Amino acid sequence: MLIAVVAAVVVVGGLGAWTVKNDGYLFGIETPLAAADYEGTGGEPVAVDVPEAANGYTIGAELEAKDVVASAEAFVRAFNANPAAGGIQPGTHQMKLQMSAESAVALLAENKVDRGGLTVVEGHTVSQIKDTMVEQGWPEADVDAALADPAALGLPAEAGGELEGWLAASTYDAKPDTVSAADVLKQMVALTVSELEALKVPEDQRNDLIIKASLVEREAPDKYRGEVARVIDNRLAAGEPLGLDAIDSYGRKKPSHLITSEEFQDKSFPYASRVVAGLPPTAIGAPSNASLEAVMNPPEGAWRWYVTVNLETQETKFTDNYDEFLAFKDEYQAWAAENGY
């Protein structure tokens, strides 16, 4: 069943009715109906459910509630402006936080939803995977019990009892009424092991590979995975802290902008990546196969720093010169100021 297209937004006044343009302007003048909107294609992944017979209003409300879009109003306008919006499928969609309304509609229309399976999103943590399973109907007590016994899930000894990073991102042919929580989690571990075997990774190197790949998954734009993997290797070889906020954020369980200076500098905290050298104690999410391959075969380069200087194009610059790194940061700050970030 496809999604019904909603009617255009209409403003009714004392002298008649005017249709407001999708950008919130009437006759070139910004109106009070100008809707809040983000820019760009988003950040962290998040799952969003589109119910049967949903329209632009109901979808927009759900996306606003999950901070995928800044406002339902902006989404509705983008929805009405995109002819493909009527083809949005009900089911669970993998979206991103803080997307522009236009990019959210485009992604929803592009997504092909497998409504019969459980999708584990690349980069998601064990906690997020658990939440997805519970949302889809697996009893929370059953999921907790299964997660509490990693060995019974087939977790290999080299993982050191830590499931983080070993639950493979994929779509599984599993429903709560046909597959137990333990069995679907076993499938996730088994898929990770089979991927590592296919890549011919020695057992004693597998856990470090997964940890590195999870960092690449969270840090690297798609086309720069290999370069980020090389930066990680170079900093490890130099005995320097990795300085990746994604590590601190995972350990502190809060966004990096909410982490205090004292927390960033706490040498007793193993995930304090600015001051503690080496890899974090665990992975920080489920790495994709692309990230695993990037870690195994990074390009040659002496880079030790990088900055994504344009969040919309994801252009990222790499250097082994600290002064050049600072110049890249200035370039990003200038871009951010010019583009309202």
Q: What is the pLDDT of residues 215-271, one digit of tens each?
A: 999 999 889 999 999 999 999 999 999 999 999 999 999 998 899 999 999 999 999
**pLDDT score of 114:** 54
> Quick one: which H or E segment has residue 132?
helix 126-135
Residue 309 is assigned to a structural domain of this protein? yes
Average pLDDT over residues 185-196: 94
Out of 198, 218, 247, pick the residue that ends a domain.
198
The answer to whether residues 310 and 333 touch, using CB atoms and an 8 Å cutoff, is: no
- 4 in a structural domain: no
CB 310 within 8 A of CB 335: yes
Do 14 and 99 lie in one domain? The reply is yes
Nearest of 329, 339, 308, 307 to residue 38 by alpha carbon: 339
Domain boundary among 198, 232, 261: 198
Residue 75 lies inside a defined structural domain of this protein = yes
The count of structural domains within the chain is 4
Do residue 300 and residue 313 come from a single domain?
Answer: no
pLDDT of residue 7: 36
pLDDT at 11 exceeding the cut of 80:
no
Q: Which strand (E) or helix (H) includes residue 215?
A: helix 203-219
Residues 176 and 225 occupy one common structural domain: no
Q: Is the pLDDT reported for residue 6 higher than 80?
A: no
Both 192 and 228 in a single domain?
no
Where a domain ends, among 110, 126, 157?
110
Whether residue 104 sits in one domain with residue 36: yes
pLDDT for residue 69: 92
Same domain for 191 and 218, yes or no, is no
Mean pLDDT for the chain overall: 86
Using pLDDT thresholds of 50, 70 and 90, give the confidence band for residue 30.
Answer: very low
Contact assessment for residue 286 and residue 169, using Cβ atoms and an 8 Å cutoff: yes
In a domain, 1, yes or no: no
Check whether residue 263 and residue 334 sit in a common domain. no
What stretch of H or E contains 61?
helix 56-65
What residues have CB less than 8 Å from 26, skipping those under 6 apart? Answer: 11, 18, 20
pLDDT at 32 over 60: no
Strands 25-26 and 29-30: antiparallel
Residues 226, 144 within the same domain = no
Question: Residue 335 pLDDT more than 70?
Answer: yes
Q: Looking at per-residue confidence, does 296 or 73 come out higher?
A: 296
Burial of 58 (0-12, 13-18, 19+ CB in 10 A): middle
Tell me what pLDDT residue 53 has. Answer: 65
Residue 2 lies in a domain: no
Whether 5 maps to a domain, the answer reads no
In a domain, 29, yes or no: yes
Residue 31 clears pLDDT 60, i.e. is over it: no
Of the given ranges (8-22, 26-40, 149-163), which has the lowest mean pLDDT?
A: 8-22
Please provide the DSSP assignment of 76-126 as one string. HHHHHH-GGGGGPPSEEEEEESS--HHHHHHHHHH----TTSEEPPTT--H
pLDDT given at position 34: 56
**Is 3 domain-assigned?**
no
Stretch (H or E) spanning 204? helix 203-219
Quick one: average pLDDT of 106-121? Answer: 79
Residues 169 and 144 in one domain: yes
Reply yes or no on whether the pLDDT at 10 is more than 70. no
Only one residue has tokens 């069943």, namely: 1
Is 111 within 8 Å of 93 (Cβ atoms)? Answer: yes
| pLDDT at residue number 215 | 97
Residues 6+ apart with CB under 8 A from 123: 44, 45, 169, 214, 217, 218, 285, 286, 287, 288
Calculate mean pLDDT across residues 270-290: 95
Domain shared by 69 and 152, yes or no: no
Expressed as residue numbers, the domain containing 72 is 10-110
Is the pTM for the entire model greater than 0.75? no
* CATH label of the domain that carries residue 75: 3.30.1490.480
Report whether pLDDT(25) > 70: no
Same domain as 141, residue 189: yes
Give the pLDDT confidence of 144-163 residue by residue, as tens digits.
999 999 999 999 999 999 99
pLDDT at position 2: 40
Which pLDDT score, from 0 to 100, does residue 115 have?
A: 54
